[in-house]
Amino acid sequence: LESNRPSYSIASIPADGIGPEVISAGIQVLRALTKAIGSFELEFTHFDWDSARYKKEGTYLPADALDQLKKFDAILFGAVGAPDVPDHISLWGLRLAICQPLQQYANVRPTRILRGTTSPLRNCAAGDLDWVIIRENSEGEYAGHGGRSHLQTGWEVATEVSVFTRVGTERIMRFAFETAQSRPRKMLTVVTKSNAQRNGMVFWDMVAAEVGKDFPDVTVDKMLVDAMTTRMVLKPETIDTVVATNLHADILSDLAASLAGSIGIAPTANLDPTRQNPSMFEPIHGSAFDITGMGVANPVATFWTAAEMMRWLGEGDAADLLMLAVENVTEQGVKTQDLGGSNKTVEVTDKVCEEIENLV
Ligand code: ATP
Ligand code: MG
C-alpha cells in the first residue's frame, strides 16, 4: 500500500558541547509529534561533523558534504565550538561553510516571552514582546573579506572589509518586507549605522527605500543600531519586524534572546527563501561547555527551532501544536535552571512529549 503522507528527510548535525543533548531531545519531541499527528513522516540521517573530527582529520566537512546535504529537505543543527579550537576556525569550518554556499541568506530569529517564563524587562510578560529579527546571513561584515599585511615593518595592518552587494541587499530587504507584511502589525524597522558607516549603510538605507515602494501597506522606520538597543529595552512593544546586517543583527538577537528570558529558548532559521537549497535550523545558543554533560541544557530553543523547521516544511499546524505543548509545559513550571526552574533536560523533554499526546 502506498502512503500519501508526505515524508520529510532531515539531516541532523548535532556537533559539539550540548549540541548532541539538545538535538536528541529535539528529535524525541519531533517523533512524538509525528506519531501524534500521523499526517506526515520524518526521516533523520545523522552526520558526525564536529570538532573531534576536525582535530583528527583537519576538516569539519568531507569534500562532498554540500552535495550530501542538498539531498535533504532540511538540516537540523546543534552547536559548534570547542575549548581547544579557535572560534573563528570552528565557525568558518562548519556553520558558515554550510550557510554561505547553500545561499541561506536570511537568518530569521523570532523572539517572544513564553508563558510561565519571566523577562528581565520590568512590566513585560508573555504576550508583550513579539519580534522577528531578520539578519543578513551571507555577506556584510562577515563576508570574510580582508587580510593581514606589513607584518615585517612593524606597522602591522589587519583589515576586515564589509561587503554589501546590490543582489545581497535587495534580496534580504525584500524578504524582510514580505515577513513584515505577513504579520498582523505590518511594521518593519530598518537598522543601520548610516551616520558613521557612510558607504555600505547609506546604500542599505537607499535599497530599503527602493524595495519599500512595492510594500505600501508596511509601515517602515529607520533606527541606528545603538539607538535600537535602547528602544528594545525601553519600548519593546513598539517593535515588530527588524532587519539588520550580519554583525548588527547578531548582536541585537543575543540581546533579544536575553530580554525574552534566556538564550536557552531562542531559535534560528537559516533560510534559502528561493528553496533551491535546504534551509538549516538551529538554536541560537552555542556549545555551552560549562554545562555540557550535566543534563541541564534547556532543550526549549531546539523545540522552538524544530517548530520553525516544520513551519518551513509546510506543516504549520504541527508547528503550532508543538509550541502550544512547549508553553503549556513552561507554564506548569517544568523548566531548566536558566529559566529559574530545577528540571533536567530529559524531564522537560518527556513532559513536552506527554503534553503533545494529551493535546491531540
Ligand atoms: P558561541 O560562541 O557559539 O555563541 P558561547 O560560548 O559564546 O558560544 P553559549 O555556548 O551560547 O555561548 O553559552 C553562553 C552561556 O549561556 C553559557 O553560560 C551557557 O551555559 C548558557 N547557555 C547556552 N545555551 C544554554 C541552554 N540551552 N540551556 C542553558 N544554558 C545555556
Ligand atoms: Mg556567543
Give Cα separations from 121 to 22, 36, 118, 129, 350 (angstroms). 27, 37, 8, 10, 30
Task: Give the Cβ contact number of residue 269 at 10 Å.
Answer: 21
Q: Look at residues 130, 37, 74 and name the one whose alpha carbon lies nearest to residue 312.
A: 74
CA 350-354-357 angle, 5° bins: 145
Q: Which one is predicted more confidently, 197 or 182?
A: 182
pLDDT band of residue 9 (cuts 50, 70, 90) is very high
Using one digit for the tens of pLDDT, what is the confidence trace for 234-249?
A: 999 999 999 999 999 9
Percent residues over pLDDT 90 in the chain: 91
Per-residue confidence band for 128, with pLDDT thresholds at 50, 70 and 90: confident
Specify whether 142 is catalytic: yes
- Joined together, the cell numbers standing for residue 22 give 539538545
- Ligand 1 test: best mutation among 258, 284, 285, most atoms within 8 Å of CB? 285
C-beta 285 within 6 A of ligand 1: yes
Q: For residue 255, which ligand has an atom nearest its CA?
A: 2
Q: Point out the ligand 1 atom lying closest to the alpha carbon of residue 299.
A: 27
Q: What pLDDT sits at residue 1? A: 52
Which of the following is catalytic: 186, 205, 254, 344? 254
309 contacts 74 by C-beta, under 8 angstroms: yes
Strand bridging mode 140-149 / 157-163: antiparallel
Name the residue with the closest Cα to ligand 1, atom 1: 286
| Ligand sitting nearest the alpha carbon of 295 | 1
CA gap 192, 202 in Å, rounded: 8
Residue 341: nearest ligand to its CA? 1
95 pocket-lining for ligand 1 (C-beta < 6 Å): no
Could you give the ipTM of this predicted complex? Answer: 0.94
194-219 tens-digit pLDDT: 998 899 999 999 999 999 999 999 99
Q: Residue 338: CB within 6 Å of ligand 1?
A: yes
Which ligand 1 atom sits closest to the C-alpha of 18? 27
pTM: 0.95
Q: How far apart are CA 204 and CA 209, in angstroms?
A: 9
Instruction: Reply yes or no on whether 193 is catalytic.
Output: yes
Residue whose Cα lies nearest atom 9 of ligand 1: it is 286
What is the model's pLDDT at position 220? 98
Per-residue pLDDT at 2 exceeds 70: no
Q: How much is the mean pLDDT over the chain?
A: 96
Tell me the C-alpha to C-alpha distance, in Å, between residue 9 and each of 26, 68, 129, 309.
Answer: 15, 12, 34, 12
Please write the tens of the pLDDT for every residue from 55-79.
Answer: 999 999 999 999 999 999 999 999 9
Q: Is the Cβ atom of 287 under 6 angstroms away from ligand 1?
A: yes
Residue 289 has pLDDT above 90, yes or no: yes
Residue 105 is a catalytic residue: no
Intra-chain end-to-end CA distance of the chain, in Å: 26
Rounded Cα–Cα distance for residues 14 and 6 (Å): 25
Ligand 1 site, residue 264, Cβ cutoff 6 A: yes
Atom of ligand 1 nearest to the CA of 87: 2
Cβ of residue 349 lying under 6 Å from some atom of ligand 1: no
Q: Whose CA is nearest to atom 21 of ligand 1?
A: 288
Q: Is the CB of 14 under 6 A from ligand 1?
A: no
Summarize the confidence of residues 146-174 as an average pLDDT.
Answer: 95
Nearest ligand 1 atom to alpha carbon 283: 27
CA atoms within 13 A on the CB side of 276: 6
298 C-beta closer than 6 A to ligand 1: yes
CA angle 325–134–241, rounded 5-degree value: 75
Quickly tell me which residue has 533579544 as its cell: 256
Q: Is the CB of 19 under 6 A from ligand 1?
A: no
Set 193, 335, 350, 351: catalytic member: 193
pLDDT digits over 22-59, tens only?
999 999 999 999 999 999 999 999 999 999 999 999 99
User: Which residues have a beta carbon within 5 Å of ligand 2, which is an ion?
Assistant: 286
